[in-house]
Amino acid sequence: MEMSANNSFLVFSGTNTRYLAEKICASLGCPLGNLVVTKFSDGEFAVSYEESIRGRDVFLVQSTFPNSDNLMELLLMIDAAKRASARHIIAVVPYFGWARQDRKDKPRVSIGAKLVADLLSAAGIDRLITMDLHADQIQGFFDVPVDHLYASGVILPYLQSLHIKDLVIASPDVGGSKRASTFAKYLGCPLVLCNKTRARANVVESMQIIGDVKDKNVVIVDDMVDTAGTITKAADIMKAAGAKSVRACASHCVMSGPASERVQNSALEEIVFTDSIPYSNRCAKVKQLSVADMFAETIRRVVCNESISSQYLV
């Protein structure tokens, strides 16, 4: 899929997503653009493009995972590109942070996902390319085109390569049932749900299995794993209910706080993520699959005005 460096587009990266941007550029056959981030002693920083981007389509690769410096860096990259007369500014955000705050679920709270969408729009993006939003309706928070990719494009082929017999797909909560149902239908296997109640954010109070997992090999499907409380509790309960093995796969490897230790000590055989977020806390059970080729192909199709939905598996 090599594309000439003389094409009318350039790819730039924020500081903490450079590892993925380099793989995207390798897949596209183009160099990564020269962007410098200058940091001041008080924590403030500035960005500058060290090459002309006038009249070019610029793709800015940056996930907005914690801390908030990643989001601020992306906003400054967008603003600098707009002031440098870029033709189109496309934000490539593999992991869209604050997406769990997509509605008012209790009085007097913010809708963080809408706020981030407004910030990106006000900064000046012409398009957003992202993957596995926590809620599909977040696409409607934007007044610019949103290309919503799915990690199933790399996770499903991996699951098929394992040739798992007596396979069952499970959702760790009712909210993820649509995603799990799509996986189950594609793989031609039964679906199991977990019904959970939370004591508070990141703390699961109770969980029950809806469906049969006895003598089955279970794969739990989710969009992200944060503290791993839900997914490890689900794995332990399914193992206790007679499951032969339990694996998990999720799009985004947030894995904060005690997550790595919980996964290591759980009944999970392995947990599979994409590399939308860097993962530095090594855990023997964690495997990451790269989405660089998928994003590179999407960038190529945007540049060439080709269909994007035709590359989806499900």
State yes or no: cis peptide before 67, omega within 30 of 0: yes
**Cβ–Cβ < 8 Å for 95, 277:** yes
**Cβ–Cβ < 8 Å for 221, 180:** yes
Burial of 139 (0-12, 13-18, 19+ CB in 10 A): middle
Identify the residue whose tokens are 């082929």.
157
Phi, psi of 270 (to 5 degrees): -160, 160
Tell me the C-alpha distance between 243 and 169, whole Å: 12
Q: Looking at the chain, list the stretches that DSSP marks H as alpha helix, in order from N- to C-terminal side.
A: 18-28, 69-83, 112-123, 152-161, 177-187, 229-240, 259-264, 292-303
Can you spell out the DSSP letters for 62-109?
----SSTHHHHHHHHHHHHHHHTT-SEEEEEESS-TTTT--S-SSTT-
Coil/strand/helix, residue 193: strand
Tell me the C-alpha distance between 78 and 257, whole Å: 31
Active site residues: 196
Residue partners of 268: CB distance under 8 A and separation at least 6: 231, 232, 235, 246, 247, 248, 285
